[in-house]
Amino acid sequence: MIILDFWSALSLVGIGQAILLLVLFVSDKRKYFSPNLFLIALLVWIVWVQLEFLVIRRSFVIHTSVFFGSRHGVWLLLGPLVYHYVISIFNPSFKFQLRQLLHYLPFLLFVLILPLTGTINISDRVIGYGMLSVLKFPMLANSWLDTAYGYIFILQFIHAAIYLMISLRAINTAQKETMAGSSDNRIEMLRYQKAMVLSMVALMACAIVFIGVLLNSIWYVRELDYIYLLPLTLCIYSFAYYAMRLPSVFERTAPPVFKSVASATDRQTQKQQFEKVKELVASKKLYQNPELRLTDLSAESGITYHQLSEMINREAEVSFFEFINQFRINEVLEKLKNKSLENEKINVLEIAYSAGFNNKVSFNRYFKKQTGKTPTDFIKSELKKVNHYKN
């Protein structure tokens, strides 16, 4: 009879969640495209690491040494997978080429090739005391490979951290270029990716704590592995949350393709639906919510996500965020005109934020795009009109 403690049971639940996500991704062909292949590989990696730990904890006998990847450097796979997932999301033409295998060379060499060919054989003493034991007690090493893999155990986390920081930098650059969104779900994707990478960065921080504690401990305590293994479960649940909350971030994001010929009835129906959507946004002032997303408007209007996206792109000929920002700018313009007429003190940013903007740069950009003037120039022109009217 196998008895699992609370923490092992929690890891087992995380494994079950990851397997469920894998089944959903593989079975749903709409989500089965290049970026998500990296995400699928990442989920498989998480299951592998969690299963390895559970096997070691419950003392199951598995004779395949490569299964125990953490001993050989399985974390060397994490960084490249996250990095390629990030860059493939925003590059629809991305294709995995042979030269990109160089990113995976350390993993292939130390985790697969050397163990499977029997080139290395980590001693049982090192395995029993932990991979870092040879760094504290060199006499435990049977060969230089034992010592080398002790260092690789540390370097695999540094390797992953470097890739994660590069991925985070790429996301930050994309966020600056996007400036509040140029496509329907680009911002959603950026936020999701940033949350994912930051969770992985937190995971690496936990791993560093684990290594620091272990190097300063006299004996290897197996329970210390939970310091960095349990956050993996939290990562799985973050994936699950976004898969349910923002399904669009897992789907192919190509520009909508409209049929060249549409019946007059269909076009008229869509126009009527679009007018109702505009009325809904205006009457309920949905645009004042700075966190408003296409999924929110879809739920509010009762129109499916993709139908709504296509409708806005076709009828308004702008992206969702530009569509919403038009309402925000119109409200700002109305308030600026009223305050100019009443000769009241004007706080432009306060008005912009109350209209739903949460970023000064974004507001200025959309304001000038819609009016052809900066907010300051617009106020001056309104004041001139007021003075001319009074005179």
According to the model, what pLDDT value does residue 120 have?
Answer: 64
Q: Is residue 367 part of a domain?
A: yes
| Over residues 262-277, mean pLDDT | 77
pLDDT of the residue at 53: 77
Confidence grade of residue 295 (pLDDT, cut at 50, 70, 90): confident
Residue 68: the pLDDT is 63
pLDDT for 254 equals 41
Q: Do 213 and 68 reside in the same domain of the chain?
A: yes
Q: Is residue 259 assigned to a domain?
A: no
Is pLDDT at 282 greater than 80 in this prediction? yes
Query: Number of structural domains, the chain?
Result: 2
Whether residue 163 is predicted with pLDDT greater than 90 in this model: the reply is: yes
Examine the domain organization and report whether 58 and 158 are in the same domain.
yes
Residue 284 scores a pLDDT above 90: yes
Q: Do the domain assignments include residue 186?
A: yes
Q: Which of 35-39, 46-50, 81-85 has the highest mean pLDDT?
A: 81-85
More confident residue, 218 or 110: 110
Q: Domain of 18: which CATH number?
A: 1.20.1070.10
Q: Are residues 163 and 208 in the same domain?
A: yes
My answer on whether 39 and 135 are in the same domain is yes
> What pLDDT does residue 57 have?
65
Residues 295 and 176 in one domain: no
State residue 227's pLDDT score: 75
pLDDT at position 255, please?
Answer: 40
Of 180, 215, 250, at which residue does a domain stop? 250
The pLDDT, as a whole number, for residue 78 is 92
Instruction: Tell whether 270 is covered by a domain.
Output: no
| 157 and 68, same domain (yes or no) | yes
Please give the share of the chain, as a percent, with pLDDT higher than 70: 72
Are 312 and 240 contained in the same domain? no
In this prediction, residue 46 carries a pLDDT of 85
For 311-348, the pLDDT digits (tens) are 888 888 887 888 898 999 999 999 888 876 666 677 88
**265 in a domain, yes or no?**
no
Residue 255 falls inside a structural domain: no
Least confident of 89-98, 112-121, 172-181: 172-181
Q: State whether 206 and 316 are in the same domain.
A: no
- Cβ neighbours of residue 69 closer than 8 Å, sequence gap 6 or more: 48, 49, 52, 111
Lowest pLDDT segment from 19-33, 155-169, 347-361: 19-33
Q: What is the span of the domain harbouring residue 333?
A: 275-390
246 within a domain of the structure (yes/no): yes
- Confidence at residue 261, expressed as pLDDT on a 0 to 100 scale: 42
Model pTM greater than 0.85? no
Whether residues 71 and 163 fall in one domain = yes
> Over 70: is that where the pLDDT of 185 sits?
no
Question: How much is the mean pLDDT over the chain?
Answer: 77
Give the mean model confidence (pLDDT) for residues 135-158: 79
Mean pLDDT over residues 67-96, rounded?
79
Residue 17 has a pLDDT of: 80
Within a domain: 262: no
